[in-house]
Amino acid sequence: MDVLKISERLIEEKSKDAMKFTRTSMKVLKGLAGFCLCASMLLKDPDPITLSQAFAIFTLLCFSELCTCCKRLERSLHYIMFWGLDLASLQAAYFRFPQYSGLFLAIATQLFIQGHLEYATSEYYGYILIVLNTLLWLIASFVVGAINFSAPFEIYFTIIFGTILRFFWLKFRFQRYTQETLYKIAISNHENNISALLQGIPEGIVVVDKNFSIKMHNSAYESIFQNSTLAETQYLKKRHNENYKKNLSLKEDVEQFFNSKNIKDNFGILCLGDIRIDCSAAKILWNDENAVVITFRDVTALIDMEKQIRKKSTTLKHLREVSHELKTPLNVIIHEQTEVLQNSKFLSEETKSQLNKSLSMSYVLLNSIRDILDFNQIQCANFKLCNNTFVLKSFIDECLTIAKFAFGDHDNKTKAFNLNIDPLVPFYMNTDKSRLRQVLVSLLTNPAAFQSESINVGIKRKGLFVRFVLKIFHKGLANSFTSGVKFRIASSIVEKISGKPLRVEIGPFVSVMKFDIADVLDNEESEIPDEGFAKWPLSLGRTLISKEPELIDILIVDDMEFNLTVLKRILENLHNNCKCSGSHQEFVVHTANSGSEAINMITKMNEKDSGYKIIIMDCQMPEMNGWEATKKIRQMFQNGEISILPYIIAYSAFDSNKDIEKCLKSGMSSHISKPCHHEELCKVLSEWLSKPIQKI
């Protein structure tokens, strides 16, 4: 606010206060004048001058009260009244009662200060009044001979000193008044700002007292309630605060809140037609009275969104269950077909080809199941990443192998897959391996890719990113690259991993897909677990215990017999069938049909002063599931009931990030998804067998 506006505001405020003061003063003076008139009439010989002065004052004051509609005339009459009182004091002091001149002079001085100066609307006008009043009394004193030029110096000094004191009094008075006015202006501005802020808040705000009378509300409150009132609102029964359940209306809640010790509270959600309103309250002081400010927030959209999320979460849960039921038999099919093909000495070439095609379609079906689940996770905003470190070259070979399976081209005869990795690309990567595999497989097995002649996969370093470039050579123009669920899922995953979109360039004979992946690890900074097996001669050999010191006992826990049979055969033949470059160890495999049976077997092993180092645990089982069994085993180790704590690896078709987190929280060491490749199983076993024994 600039100086001119402040001055105008000061004059305006001072004029208002001066008018209030003079009106009050004039009422008091009118009463005194009326009293003098009555008293003079009761006297036998009243003083005519006093009677006439009292009558004139009384008449003038009565007339001024009739002029309140005209402020200028009223103000002029007040000026006349003040100067008239000065002249009356002067007359009484020097002409009528000279013996009491000192008393009248003091009274006149007090009237001047409390009358003229209080009525002054500006500081400079007050200075002028002081000068005029001083000159009036000096001139009158010289005229009547009260003082002359030969008067003692002390008289003039007193007059001058009194005038200077008036100047300083007026200066101090206006400074204090200026501060008070500026404080009022600041408060007024704050009130206006707060009022504007309250009006701009989208939440409805209303202030009520103990009697539930509305003291203030903002515009949002009006827009929310419109033609309705607070008394018409009702609570959603499931969303009403437990502390106020017995109340039937908002008014009763407010009354209970007034009598409680709580400073603030939430009442619940009100129902106003189709609108849902969240209602909360806080205690405040409003004009020095206890009040409650109630805030209303329209949560209709949030509740609808919550219902949609709950519905989508239910759908996702059902899909995960269906996915589990589909992947469980698919796990057996893939492993059985793989076992047959790896022991295919007596099979004809035609039979091998048919089995390879069947195995390829099984992998395509598995990938499609995962795609459907991921698509719903993306739709439900429940899609999370789980980073891990892996060897990039081996990973790309694995993806190309899956793609070849999908095309039914195991020998690279009908479709050429060319891989070109830049030497600058790091040996290791740290990102979500399963999601990146899903992206590459989805893009490589895109519907348009089935019509291609060859596919080139290029990987190069691009700053802190690794760029993947897929070139698909085809005849004519391909228009189906960006259509279908596979591409949409791949595009969403790429954006989740790197924060950059998947780019597609479609040409008449070649189409290019590019994406960047961050989180690159250099060779020196990587810490990759050793893939070699550590020999752990734990079995001491009685009943179920292996007598061979170089064999390692592994326990498999699954409620389905054929899953146990398949996985047991895989583990027993892993040293022959796994194609990874690491060393392999032979295992003695034990099986259990439930979590409780597994705990009994672990207890028996402990009685023989031995134990399992690895347990491969299914999660969804009757009686005691895998998560409960894992917690029980860890509790037994902590209580000293068993001396060796095995590393527990989850082996389940439930493979979402939520499921993996649940496994890790229960105490499991790792997770393998059903079905898995021999090499993947071998790597996980190698990692945990290389760890030291967890022993008391």
How confident is the prediction for the chain on average, in pLDDT? 77
Q: Which of 298, 329, 354 is the last residue of a domain?
A: 298
Considering the domain architecture, whether residues 314 and 402 belong to the same structural domain is answered as no
- Asked if 448 and 511 count as a contact pair (C-beta separation under 8 A), the reply is yes
Considering the domain architecture, whether residues 292 and 323 belong to the same structural domain is answered as no
More confident residue, 238 or 136: 136
Task: Give residue 642's Cα distance to chain centre.
Answer: 46
| 570 sits in which H/E element | helix 561-572
Which whole number is the average pLDDT over 10-29?
72
Please report where in the chains the tokens 């005869």 appear, as a residue. 413
- With vertex at residue 147, the alpha carbon angle to CA 141 and CA 153, rounded to the nearest 5 degrees, is 130
Read off the pLDDT band of 3 (50, 70, 90).
Answer: low
Sheet holding 275-286, edge to edge: 214-217, 204-208, 289-298, 275-286, 264-272, 234-240
User: How do residues 550-604 score in pLDDT, each as one tens digit?
Assistant: 578 899 999 888 888 888 888 888 877 776 666 777 888 999 999 999 999 999 9
> What are the b/e assignments for 320-330, b being 16+ CB within 10 Å?
beebbebbbeb
Give the CATH number for residue 675.
3.40.50.2300
Residue 434 falls inside a structural domain: yes
Considering just the CA atoms, what is the radius of gyration of the chain in Å?
Answer: 48
Please report how the helices 349-379 and 485-498 are oriented relative to each other, as an axis angle in degrees rounded to 10: 60
Residue 533 falls inside a structural domain: no
Q: In the prediction, which pLDDT does 542 show? A: 31
Is 90 exceeded by the pLDDT of residue 534?
Answer: no
Cα gap 663→14, rounded to integer Å: 78
Give the CATH number for residue 479.
3.30.565.10
Read off the pLDDT band of 511 (50, 70, 90).
Answer: confident
Considering the domain architecture, whether residues 449 and 393 belong to the same structural domain is answered as yes
Residue 227 falls inside a structural domain: yes
Residue 67 falls inside a structural domain: yes
Residue 190 falls inside a structural domain: no
More confident residue, 306 or 591: 591
Considering the domain architecture, whether residues 243 and 379 belong to the same structural domain is answered as no
**Per-residue H/E/C for 64-106:** HHHCCCCHHHHHHHHHHHHHHHHHHHHHHHHHHCHHHHHHHHH
Q: Which of 246, 269, 298 is the last residue of a domain?
A: 298
Structure tokens at 518: 């961050």
Residue 82: phi, psi to the nearest 5? -65, -45
Cα gap 526→520, rounded to integer Å: 10
Q: Which of 244, 277, 298 is the last residue of a domain?
A: 298
Considering the domain architecture, whether residues 17 and 164 belong to the same structural domain is answered as yes
Considering the domain architecture, whether residues 471 and 490 belong to the same structural domain is answered as yes
Cα gap 153→441, rounded to integer Å: 114
Q: In the prediction, which pLDDT does 530 show? A: 37
Considering the domain architecture, whether residues 556 and 680 belong to the same structural domain is answered as yes
Residue 159 falls inside a structural domain: yes
E-only strand ranges, 160-263: 204-208, 214-217, 234-240
β-strands 454-462, 465-473 pairing: antiparallel
Q: In the prediction, which pLDDT does 411 show? A: 52
User: How do residues 231-270 score in pLDDT, each as one tens digit?
Assistant: 667 777 666 777 777 777 788 888 888 888 888 888 888 8
Residue-number span of the structural domain to which 87 is assigned: 3-183
Read off the pLDDT band of 106 (50, 70, 90).
Answer: low
| 4 sits in which H/E element | helix 3-42
Residue 540 falls inside a structural domain: no
Considering the domain architecture, whether residues 205 and 90 belong to the same structural domain is answered as no
Read off the pLDDT band of 26 (50, 70, 90).
Answer: confident
Residue 546 falls inside a structural domain: no
Considering the domain architecture, whether residues 228 and 276 belong to the same structural domain is answered as yes
Give the CATH number for residue 246.
3.30.450.20
- Burial (CB < 10 A; 0-12, 13-18, 19+), residue 425, is middle
Structure tokens at 415: 């479709």
User: How do residues 381-436 score in pLDDT, each as one tens digit?
Assistant: 666 677 777 888 888 887 887 777 666 655 555 567 888 888 888 888 888 887 88
Residue 146: phi, psi to the nearest 5? -65, -35
Cα gap 616→339, rounded to integer Å: 20
- The number of domains in the chain is 5
Please report where in the chains the tokens 């596919």 appear, as a residue. 455
Residue 33: phi, psi to the nearest 5? -65, -40
Considering the domain architecture, whether residues 176 and 214 belong to the same structural domain is answered as no
Please state the pTM of the whole predicted model: 0.47
Considering the domain architecture, whether residues 378 and 389 belong to the same structural domain is answered as no
Considering the domain architecture, whether residues 513 and 628 belong to the same structural domain is answered as no
